Amino acid sequence: MKTALITGVTGQDGAYLAELLLSKGYKVHGLKRRSSMFNTDRIDHLYQDPHEKNINFKLHYGDLTDSTNIIRIIQETQPDEIYNLAAMSHVKVSFDTPEYTANADGIGTLRILEAIRILGLTEKTRIYQASTSELYGLVQAVPQSETTPFYPRSPYAVAKLYAYWITVNYREAYNMFACNGILFNHESPLRGETFVTRKITRAASRIALKLQDKLYLGNMDAKRDWGHAKDYVEAMWRILQQDIPEDFVIATGVTTTVRDFVKMSFAEVGIEIEYKGEGIDEKGYVAACNNPEYQLEIGKEVVCVDPNYFRPTEVELLIGDATKSKTKLGWEPKYDLAALVKDMMQADMELFKRDTYLMEGGHRVLNYHE
């Protein structure tokens, strides 16, 4: 039985990866942060009572900014594989918390690599580093592959650039099995609520159900190569099963604007969005809708631009070339964008229908959306 340690196990990818590794018979340890409320929603279905014997899923309190706990947990768990997924992963928020982001996302990776070295595990433990298409930043060439130059455009991306290179350096310096997965955007029903896709699918569902009036967005011209997180965690695992440690791009090869993602999401609930303008316009985009099923007022403005969501420096275009992964890992995504949107919309409609039932029953429902 192999043992894996997942940092960031409470996040989107951590949850899908834990599920995947458990299904493959791994013993899985997860690093979770202390929080003032329960923060394990995404992995509660995998919970095993720690009082029982022979459990194969166990959580440990820790934080990537604290090397002492990282060393202790790695020593206790002696993992065959570490998946370093923990990060302050929101690009816009990284402009507000740049030093913390550098510490957690950049130096955090160094702390794990050093822990492996200090504990004499360089030959035993394989390490996956969650690198990102944000490294490409300002477009140098498209589609972006393993050989495309980096030009990071946010404190998040700069921190991840350090993490990328320190992973390469430890591989070369100490012969460690340490690999970067350069993953393009991947989404799912478990995606954090403030990333653009989930923000859109939540809003489209809530607007259809009359729980919300408007969706405010930032740069709708940005183009992203969006895949499904379920497909991408499979790639992470494959990267660590190779004979030789290498870095891999994981992407679908298809790029779409935020604007089109909005259209596709609303279309899932029968709302047709018509844009009255194109391009960034501070007055906002006006969307008209014609919704037979949910009977929204025709011509009602449901999507607007709020410049507060613009970023000081933006990444305008991402489109990945995953040829190496397809050839060497035998990896192929199962979900295309249409299937991804459908999956997210179905899940959010179900979620918010529950809110409408609660309201009908006289209960108060949370109305927080960002």
Contact positions toward ligand NDP, by CB under 6 A?
7-8, 10-14, 31, 33, 35, 39, 63-65, 85-89, 104, 130, 132, 183, 185-186, 192
Q: Which of 134, 234, 268, 314 is catalytic?
A: 134
Q: For ligand GDR, which residue of 217, 235, 302, 317 counts as binding (CB under 6 A)?
A: 217
Distance CA 322, CA 83 (A): 20
Choose the stretch contacting ligand GDR; rule: CB under 6 A; options: 46-54, 66-74, 214-222, 329-337: 214-222
Distance CA 289, CA 274 (A): 7
- Residue 187 annotated as catalytic: no
Distance CA 163, CA 134 (A): 13
Q: Which of 109, 125, 132, 201 is catalytic?
A: 132
- Residue 19 annotated as catalytic: no
* DSSP strand pairing (178-183 vs 81-84): unpaired
Residues 44-103 binding ligand GDR (CB under 6 A) are 89, 91-92
Q: For ligand GDR, which residue of 311, 342, 353, 369 counts as binding (CB under 6 A)?
A: 311
Report in angstroms how near the CB of residue 134 gets to ligand NDP at its nearest.
7
Distance CA 253, CA 246 (A): 20
Distance of CA 123 to the CA centre of its chain: 30
Please state the φ and ψ torsions of residue 154, each to the nearest 5 degrees.
-155, 160
Q: For ligand GDR, which residue of 31, 64, 249, 258 counts as binding (CB under 6 A)?
A: 258
Count CB-CB contacts under 10 A for residue 110: 17
Choose the stretch contacting ligand GDR; rule: CB under 6 A; options: 25-33, 46-54, 126-134, 140-148: 126-134
Distance CA 228, CA 232 (A): 7
225 binds, among ligand GDR, ligand NDP, none (CB under 5 to 8 A by kind): none
Q: Which residues pair with 216 in a beta bridge?
A: 304
- Residue 257 annotated as catalytic: no
> Which are the catalytic amino acids?
132, 134, 156
